[in-house]
Structure 1
Amino acid sequence: MSGSKNTKQLRDIKYSVLDLSPIVVGGTPAISFQNTLDLAQHAEKWGFNRYWLAEHHNMPFIASSATSVVIGHVAAGTSKIRVGSGGIMLPNHASLVIAEQFGTLESLFPGRIDLGLGRAPGTDQRTAQALRRNLGSNGEDFPEQLMELLAYFDPSLAAGKMHVRAIPGEGLNIPVWLLGSSGFSAQLAGQLGLPFAFASHFSPNNTLGALDLYRRSFQPSNVLDKPHAMVGVNVIAADTDAEAQLLATTLQQQFLNLSQGNEVPLQPPVENLEDHWSKYQIDALQHQLGSSIVGSPETVKEKMQAFLDDTQADEMMVIGQIFDHQARLRSYEIVADITK
């Protein structure tokens, strides 16, 4: 990949938003959904390409568990920006249900819906059982589930085996993305000629290897004639480096709490993490948050360009887990400004 570096500038690619509809301390899911729509409307105005929502369950700091419903809420309150899932965790669902849900969304909002798919449950074993899926599945049957889903949209892929039809869904052109944090989905996306989105925001050490595997595995399809890779990245931007570093302590606390099984709403920033956590715990954050970009407009621009140099991504999907909604809006506004 080194030979291809420095061929892309920030203005050459598109930028999107990944939203977990965060629930903050003292907040409610209702407030989270209001803030989600407000951010989506601003993102559309600022020129972002996509607005994706993530499926997680049994997490007190994430409100987007009924992902398809929230996608409809966002799409209804916007007019141009693409809206989709980042992602739907397919092992939690019957493929037919997802085909119908996204067929419905595409019918309501033509040409604006994306279906990003992951193979992890996005939750714990007990919650997976509550979702009434087979606990024996560990994601190994994901390729079969995926092909079943694709065939609901395009019955010709089923070679005459399909007896059940997805209505709405059948015959609709809904872009399907594979999401991943390792090589499995990267290789599968390449083999099927699908676009691929990598979760650099929590798996930074696997980023370059997975992107390389995707590109080397890629087979042209009726969807894409060449690889199309998007990378997720935590970006926390503010008017000064110091302010951004303070805001970033919310994200850091989220990961520190998760590492201890302490699932709580999103916490306000703290002046000094060392007052609350050990140096060992804070150093371990680098393993998951090493690619995070935090700082003033100048700092963020420089770091985003370096990340683009390394990844040669076709798109970047920006995640901003920021406690204060106005500060979150400002962070995305800065990203929009520096990437024009």
Structure 2
Amino acid sequence: MWFYNFWNIFDIIAYVLSTYTSIYWLQTNDKNNNCLIQLLSFSCLFLDIKFLLFFRAFEYFGVYFAIIISVGKKIFSFIIVIFIIIISFAHAFYILLSPKSEFSLEHTNNDDPNNPWNLAPSYSQVIDNDGNINSNPFMIQTPDKNTNMFIDIRTSLFAIYLFLAGDSSALSNWSYADNPSIAILIVLFSLLVVVYLMNLLIGLLNNAIEEDNNRVSYLLQKAEILAEIELFYLLPHQRRWETWFPEVMYYYADVDKTQVEIKKLIKNGEWDNKEFTEMWQILFKVLQIEYNPDDNKVILEKVKSNDEKLDKLDKLEKLEEKLEKLDKLEEKSDKLEILEKSQCEILEKLGKLETLEKSHCEILDKLEKLLERNAC
């Protein structure tokens, strides 16, 4: 659990890096060593921030450190999502804009449009008074590794980070009219990450700061600092000093707020009267609170019985609702039976009508035959 604490990890980095830098400096004894200069810069950075961390114990500064850690924990997963999206766009630009063949920064060797030599600024000469320009460049600026930052996946990732920060110079060497795919990726990145996700991140930060109790976070942080001091920085005889570690601790509290909180505890049955009986009796006298443990037990029993009765009433109400539904279903079933009977009667009448129609047709046929015989 010790390694899960952000401040402990920061302390390890600061101490290990500064120690390693000091040993490396003693071994090389060269102030102009480029590697030593880089180590010194990072060591001083971490040590300066480490000095600032000593102010965590003071409330005026510690609240802000508590906000930084608590808010950072809440948005950590969202930061990972943004980082993965940035890597995805960096990979896409790397595939699209990296040179398609081998190249050298010392001399031009191909006509690849992504070759740094073809992206470097070139200067042409005016050949006559009419303003005609020579097609062959008069002078070309020597390119470097930053001319096309997409020749390597690492610089590609850094270029996309710069674009997120507002610097789009890494993408300005290409013509957007001739490369519509670049323009499409730029629009997608700006809408998705720069506009949407960044504003969403700001909203999440505001919500996290409002939801978190900053003073409580600071007090927890201060308690951790005091516990660390007591465990690792005090001698055994210092831990036994009663002036530093008294058996009973007194603190000032608001009378009205204390009355309200104690009454809430008594009402909820959370007040423990088995320990420090004399102390809480004196406290009740000072706060003018009437409290009888036996009465409290009776009240709790009544509350429990009332809760049981309420549960039974709820069950009865649910049963009544079910009975009402059953009555409605029975009424509907009765209506359905009546409808079925009426349908059966209608069907019987229809059958009789069909038999009458058949007999009527037979009579008509016989009459037609008789009329034919009489005519003959």
Flag whether TM exceeds 0.5 (same fold): no
TM-score using structure 2 length: 0.17
Whose RCO is larger (CA < 8 A, sep 6+)?
A: 1
Larger Rg: 2
